Amino acid sequence: MSSAIDREITDWFDSDGLLLMKLLGVESGQRVLDFGCGIGGYAIPLADAVAPDGRVFAVDKNSDNLGELRKRLSGHDHTKCVSIRHTDGGINLHWLKAGSLDAVLVFDVLHIITDWQTLFGEMRRVIRRGGALYVNPASLSHPGEVNVRALMEVLPSCGFALDYSVLARAWHYHKPSTEEIFVFCAV
């Protein structure tokens, strides 16, 4: 990764990334799953938001991306708040207890996964009642790849109610972008 990109992502972690997590309502002490965390564009700001006693479960099926996340976390202030889990791409979250999380973040992953019903059913199982599901379907950076209307139908059937959506500065691959982010409540 070039040093210019390195500087940009470091700026993102330290400023807008943390601001976005706070805007979404992530708080110190919370337990949050980042499903499909990639290189950690959100897992690292999440760690800063839940520190010092909260926990981020950063999950991905791509070991190269997780390797990059590990590199970025080494020397980071809140490394201890992050548990990294490499999966085989299964969407079963059996390793998390029912109602054990305050929130789940699923950003820019839904264009890859087809079985939303199972995915969101599992997410609802692990989030406590009243907890949050943050969804970025990346519909602005990948127009047409995710059927947002279908998403809005599936989520209520899995026990989530739409709270609000917001246009926000987000992180997409190796650069900032604007995305529409949907915030659901586990009912």
Ligand X SMILES: C[S@@+](CC[C@H](N)C(=O)[O-])C[C@H]1O[C@@H](n2cnc3c(N)ncnc32)[C@H](O)[C@@H]1O
Q: Does 45 bind ligand X (CB under 6 A)?
A: no
As a whole number of angstroms, the distance between CA 176 and CA 180 comes to: 13
As a whole number of angstroms, the distance between CA 12 and CA 180 comes to: 18
Q: Does 107 bind ligand X (CB under 6 A)?
A: yes
Q: Which two tokens stand for residue 187?
A: 């009912």
The smaller minimum CB distance to ligand X, of residues 112 and 167, is found at: 112
- Three-state DSSP at 78 gives coil
Mask 23-42, x = binds ligand X (CB under 6 A)?
-------------xxx--xx
Q: Which of 41, 102, 49 is nearest to 72 (CA)?
A: 41
Contact 158, 125 (CB under 8 A): no
In this chain, which stretch among 15-23, 73-81, 87-95, 148-156 interacts with ligand X, using CB under 6 A? 87-95
Among 23, 85, 100, 113, the residue binding ligand X under the rule CB under 6 A is 113
Query: CB-side exposure of 78: number of CA atoms within 13 Å?
Result: 22
The smaller minimum CB distance to ligand X, of residues 135 and 155, is found at: 135
**Closest CB to ligand X: residue number:** 38
Q: Give the footprint of ligand X on this chain (CB under 6 A).
A: 36-38, 41-42, 59-62, 65, 87, 89, 91, 107-109, 112-113, 171
